[in-house]
């Protein structure tokens, strides 16, 4: 089986690609764990509940006009929803390059953070604000 190396991940926020600003990104999908143990069980059995989505990529900050900082602050300030698309490669979507899509609001980010001499990074926290995560292969 092939190994997939994260070399050129694709990230789109509100229809604008920010792939070249990605330092690292984890899309975390989970489900709430519900205690389902009942009479007759000798083990704590679990069921899964609502889906949970966490996305907080680390990005190089960009202060250019209409750049990342302006987009994030506007969405944070106005509480607007952004369309997020994320896949492992900038290559075309396909069965081996699925794209995860969801709508999210910015629940936090750091416009400036760092020590003298370092690159300025920001780590926006996106919370899913409507619908759910979809996985597109075409």
Partner 1 sequence: MPKWQLKDARVYIGPYDFSGQHNRIALDLARAPLAAETFVDDTEIKDTGLASAKLSGSGFWEAGAESGSTAKKIDDALFANFTVKDVPVTVVPSIGQGIGGVAYSIQAATVAYKPLIGPHGQLIGFSYEMAPSRSRVIRGRLLALGQWGAADDARFLALVAMQATAYALTSQTLPSGESARCISATHATVAVTDTLGNLVIDGTDVSGAVIQETLALVSDGTAYGVKEFKAVTGLRTAGWVQGGATADTLKVGYGPQGVPTQLGAVSATEKLYGVIHAYAFSGTTPTLDAKIQSDVAAAFPSAVDKITFTQKSGFASEWAELAGPNTDDWVRASLTVAGTATPKFSAIVLAAIAAIPQ
Give contact residues for partner 1 (rule: CB under 8 A): 18, 20-21, 32, 50-53, 60-65, 67-70, 73, 76-79, 105-120, 125, 127-133
| Shortest reach from residue 136's CB to partner 1, in Å | 17
In the complex with partner 1, the residue whose CB is nearer, 119 or 138, is 119
Q: CA 110 to CA 84: how far, in whole Å?
A: 19
Q: CA 109 to CA 61: how far, in whole Å?
A: 11
In the complex with partner 1, the residue whose CB is nearer, 69 or 99, is 69
Per the listing, tokens 């994320």 go with: 86
| Shortest reach from residue 73's CB to partner 1, in Å | 5
| Shortest reach from residue 86's CB to partner 1, in Å | 16
Residues 104-131 as b/e (b if ≥16 CB within 10 A, e otherwise) read: bbbeebeeeeeeeeeeebbbbebebeee
In the complex with partner 1, the residue whose CB is nearer, 23 or 137, is 23
């Amino acid at each position: 089986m092939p190994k997939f190396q994260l070399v050129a991940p694709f990230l789109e926020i509100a229809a604008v690609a920010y792939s070249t600003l990605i330092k690292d990104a984890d899309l975390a999908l989970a489900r709430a764990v519900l205690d389902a143990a009942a009479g007759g069980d000798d083990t704590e059995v679990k069921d899964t509940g609502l889906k949970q989505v966490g996305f907080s990529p680390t990005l190089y900050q960009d202060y250019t006009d209409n750049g990342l900082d302006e987009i994030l602050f506007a969405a944070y300030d106005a509480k607007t929803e952004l369309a997020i698309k994320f896949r492992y490669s900038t290559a075309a979507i396909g069965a081996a390059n699925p794209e995860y899509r969801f709508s999210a609001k910015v629940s936090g980010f750091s416009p400036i953070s760092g020590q003298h001499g370092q690159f300025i990074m920001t780590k926006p926290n996106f919370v899913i604000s409507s619908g759910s995560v979809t996985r597109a292969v075409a």
